Structure 1
Amino acid sequence: MTDIRFHAMPDGRQIAFRFAPGQGPTLVFLPGYMSDMAGGKATAVFEMAQATGLSCLLLDYSGCGESPGDFADGSLSRWKDEIVALVDALGLQDVVLMGSSMGGWLMLLAGLALGERLKGLVGIAPAPDFTDWGVAQMDKALLADGETIYEDNPYGPEPTPTHPGFWADGQANLLLGGEIALDCPVRLLHGQRDPDVPWEISLQLAEKLRSADVQVTLIKDGDHRLSRESDIALLLRTAAELVLPRAAAAD
């Protein structure tokens, strides 16, 4: 793995990232909620890119992983701006965004902001609009009143917080209610034993995307993380199939 570098945002935020230059569109991995670039899927994508000479970018949103800051200040809009700022700062002209869970919502928002630079999307259990469908009505009322809610966390010892600022920003960035104006190739991977994000969300997303080149792969025994060896192999094949033909065409 390459060394961690930091990008300074205009307000002084420091965004940790790893970047491996290479051929073709740059694979940009976007972690899920409270996750970071040290996760197994992100690491596997980076190592695959290095082994095949592809360009790859990993990053930690502010307040996550190696990026300093308070997680409670995070929001989709804030983190989307950080993604776009890094792409700009590195001078990346063509990118394929790969988003896991919440990262699958961020890949859509960042993709809309990147315009013609976006060459593809790979969603792993993508969770667009989860502040709407994933939050109980009673909890929405608490969040609207400015309270933080906490839920059991099956992936760690600490409960998972949802802060009112994050929730309100999510509600302002809902996408599944209308057409999503993206025309690039899209590949969505979703486990049918996902207890956190219903696999039907990927089908809804496929319907709302304007692109005609959208494929959904359902893994019947797959869970939310899709981090088994077979799941990661599928992810790497999917990413490579999107990027390698474009890399060859650019040579």
Structure 2
Amino acid sequence: MPATTFLETPQGRRLAYHRNDGQGPWIVFLGGLKSDMEGTKALHLEAWARARGHAYLRFDYSGHGESSGTFEEGCIGDWHEDALAAVAALTEGPVVPVGSSMGGWQALLMAREIPERIGGMVTVAAAPDFTEDGYWATFTEAEKAQLDREGFVEKHSDYMEPYVISKRMIEDGRTQLVLRDPLRLPFPVRCLQGTADTAVSTGTALRLLDHAECPDMRLTLVKDADHRFSDGPCLGLIEAAIAEVLG
């Protein structure tokens, strides 16, 4: 496998990435919270894109994987800046973001920031606004008091070790919300969601489908698929969704 390459962003962060040239639009994989670019979906889609001659980019947000920084210091806005910097420096022309979990929120933020660059979008268990609707909304009064007093709380995850959620992540998340104001997605969008996902509910997927203004948006619910969405049949569905968006 080729050695990891690094990008220095305008904000002074050092992002690890792998890119493969090919025909556009560029497929850009946007990973989830505390995930990295060595995950099953990221690597599988890289091989799939290479076999078909498609341009492909995967990278680690700051505080993730091989990139600089620590997770606990990061927030949605930082990772949004990272994604924009990676797309600006490492791709040309239209891009098709493929956003997994928090990466789905990042894909929507990218579409709001640089709509002229987006040729289509695929989301997998997209988690828009989760810092407010998932974390803050379920914090107990004791957790809110701890967040204010200590600056962080730990939240259990069914898929990895507990997340350390910072006060900065919550406060910054409120400046990045996409489900409160009009969300225009003037390109094909395909959303995939497992019904056995304990991190992101089907209700979130339906809320996004109902909220977005999009002429060609489809949601596929997959019975018994969990948040990882990375077994063989699920990976096949992601491939098919990307191929459909690429048209």
Q: Same fold (TM over 0.5)?
A: yes
Q: Which residue of 1 aligns with 2:154?
A: 150
1:4 deviates by 1.4
Which one of the candidate residues 197, 200, 206 is aligned to 1:197?
200
Q: Which residue of 2 aligns with 1:132?
A: 132
In 2 relative to 1, CA 145–105 (structure 1 residues): closer, same or farther, beyond 3 Å? farther
SS at match of 1:12: coil
In 2 relative to 1, CA 118–173 (structure 1 residues): closer, same or farther, beyond 3 Å? same
Paired with 1:191 and 1:91, the residues of 2 have a C-alpha distance of 31
Paired with 1:14 and 1:111, the residues of 2 have a C-alpha distance of 23
1:140 deviates by 4.2
- Quick check: 2:182–2:212 contact (8 Å CA) kept in 1? yes
1:163 aligns with 2:166: yes
Aligned AA (2:92):
L
TM-score of the superposed pair, with normalisation by structure 2:
0.93
TM-score of the superposed pair, with normalisation by structure 1:
0.92
1:91 deviates by 4.4
Cα distance per residue 1:122-154 (max 9 Å; x no partner): 110000011122121423454355521112233
Cα distance per residue 1:177-226 (max 9 Å; x no partner): 23212211110000011111111111111111111210000001111111
Paired with 1:49 and 1:79, the residues of 2 have a C-alpha distance of 24
- Quick check: 1:2–1:19 contact (8 Å CA) kept in 2? no
Q: Which residue of 1 aligns with 2:8?
A: 8
- Quick check: 2:158–2:199 contact (8 Å CA) kept in 1? no
Paired with 2:36 and 2:125, the residues of 1 have a C-alpha distance of 16
Aligned AA (2:213):
R
Paired with 1:91 and 1:13, the residues of 2 have a C-alpha distance of 18
Aligned AA (1:19):
R
Aligned AA (1:188):
C
Paired with 1:212 and 1:142, the residues of 2 have a C-alpha distance of 44
Aligned AA (1:16):
A
Which one of the candidate residues 166, 178, 182 is aligned to 2:181?
178
> What runs of 5+ residues in structure 1 fail to find an aligned partner?
246-251
1:64 aligns with 2:67: no
1:114 deviates by 1.5
